[in-house]
Structures are given as structure tokens and as C-alpha cells.
Amino acid sequence: MSKFYTFSPIDNKGKPFPFESLKGQVVLIVNTASKCGFTKQYEELEELYNKYKDQGFTVIAFPCNQFGHQEPGTEEQIVEFCSLNYGVKFPIMKKIDVNGSDTHELYQWLKNEKAGLLGFKGIKWNFEKFLIGKDGQVIERYSSIKTPSKIAPDIEAALKA
């Protein structure tokens, strides 16, 4: 069994979200921020989610305040912002660190599984994405500038696999 399914991050209401429940699904993990130039990617992420959710796809957002302090709000404020501005329905987790000494264990695993540009493992900025296959393995890692709509072909391929 992939280690991916052993993680159980805390959601925005403070409850564990066991990834075991994601078995057999294609998952897009994204570190997000509300005050970033890339924040509008929420819109495309929601579109992807709506388009493929019935085929076994989900997006999971991890708000993070480590890049330019662009996610300063509380969990409630983040959820309200995403809901009001982008109609986000996909799960939003509790704010975490994705780099440094307090990195969430999920991100430690993701970064080790798939390094970024030049082999640096660290997350460079908000809205980096990891695509996880039905078997819980990391298929691909995308930089912030890769918009969600451009990932759609990879999602479709993963869903068909």
C-alpha cells in the first residue's frame, strides 16, 4: 500500500481527514494562498474538480503562509474567501508548513517522491501541485506557473489508467 494512504491531515474544522478514504482516486494536492498572484487558479482548480469528481478525482488544498506571508488568515477566513470568491467545494485542509523544520509529513513525503526543478525538493511558491495516481503514487509535480487547466490531460490519463 502506498504511504500516501497513511496520512491523515487535519481539515479546516480541526478534524482528521484520513487519506485512506482516497484509495482508488486520482488526487491533486495543492499548496494555496489567498493573497497571491496565482490565487485565481482556485477558479480552474474548482473547474477541474467539478469536471472530473464523478470519475474519481479530487483536489485537496493545503493553505500555507510561508511564501510572502500571503495566507495570513484563520481557517474560517480562508474557507470563506475560497467559497465566496471562487465557489470552492473541494476539501481545504488546515494551514500547514510545506518547507523548513516544521514541514507537514505529507509534504516531506511528496517532495521526496518527486523533486522539483534542478532536483531541489523544496516547494518554490504557492500553487505548486502534485498529481497522485489511483495507486497512491506521485505521477507528476507541477510548478506554480502551470495552470490547472493544462494539467487536465494528465488527470484524464490517470483516470483512465
Partner 1 sequence: MSDTDTDTQSNSTITQVNIDQVLQVLEDASIECYETKDFISFSTVLDIHLSDPSIYTEEERYDILMKLNEIFNANHDLVYEVGWDIPPILIAFFNCEMKPVFGLMKEKTTVLILKLFEIMSFHGNPKEMLLPCCELISGLKQDDPYTEEFISSLESREDRYFYREKPLRVYMLKFHSLLQLISSCLRRNQTIVPSRFLSMVISKLISFLNSDPEHSRQITVSRRLYTFLRDYVPPDIPDNNQDSIDDLRIVLKQENALQRKLLVFFYSVLIDHLTKPMVPQLINHIYPNMLNPEQKNQLDFLEDFEMMSRFCGLGLSMDLDYPNSYKFEVDKSIELFNQCKKPLNNSDDIFELVIQDYNLTKNRTIAEGLPSLSTSSIVFLYTYYQLIDKPKFFQFPKISFVELVKFQLYTYVPFILNPKLCNLSVVASLMIQTLNSLNDKSLIELNQEQIHSQFESNESGKTILFSYLQYSTTLVFNSNDKLLIKLYFTLLIKIMINLKEEISYQFIFDSLLNCPPFDGFQVGLIGILKDLLMNDRIKVVTKSESETTTNTNTNTNINTEPIEDKLETLKLSGSAPPPPPPVLPPRVTKYIRLTDERANDLMLLFDVFLEETFLINEETEEVELELQTDKLNSLLALLNLINSVRSFPVELVTPRLKDLETNVEKFTNYKVNVDDYLAFITFNVDKAKRFYGVK
Q: Which residues are catalytic?
A: 36
Kindly tell me the number of DSSP H helices and DSSP E strands found in the chain: 4, 4
Task: Give min distance, CB of 122 to partner 1, in A.
Answer: 4
Task: Give min distance, CB of 120 to partner 1, in A.
Answer: 6
119 touches partner 1 (CB under 8 A): yes
Q: Give Cα separations from 96 to 26, 32, 56, 59 (angstroms).
A: 22, 10, 26, 16
Task: Identify whether the C-beta of residue 26 lies closer than 8 Å to the C-beta of residue 129.
Answer: no
As to burial, measured by CB atoms within 10 angstroms (0-12 exposed, 13-18 middle, 19+ buried), residue 73 is: middle
14 touches partner 1 (CB under 8 A): no
Task: Identify whether the C-beta of residue 20 lies closer than 8 Å to the C-beta of residue 9.
Answer: no
37 touches partner 1 (CB under 8 A): no
117 touches partner 1 (CB under 8 A): yes
68 touches partner 1 (CB under 8 A): yes
94 touches partner 1 (CB under 8 A): no
Considering only residues 67, 81, 107, 130, which one is a binding residue for partner 1 as defined by CB under 8 A? 67
The C-alpha atoms of residue 61 and residue 71 are separated, in whole angstroms, by 13
Cβ partners under 8 Å of residue 2, min gap 6: 135, 136, 137
User: Which range, of 10-18, 66-74, 80-88, 150-158, touches partner 1 by CB under 8 A?
Assistant: 66-74
CA dihedral 81, 83, 87, 89 (to 10 degrees): 130
User: Which range, of 7-15, 52-60, 123-131, 150-158, touches partner 1 by CB under 8 A?
Assistant: 123-131
102 touches partner 1 (CB under 8 A): yes
Residue whose C-alpha is closest to residue 100's, from 18, 31, 8: 31
125 touches partner 1 (CB under 8 A): yes
User: Which range, of 12-20, 29-37, 84-92, 122-130, touches partner 1 by CB under 8 A?
Assistant: 122-130
* Residue ranges in contact with partner 1 by CB under 8 A: 66-69, 97, 99-102, 117-125
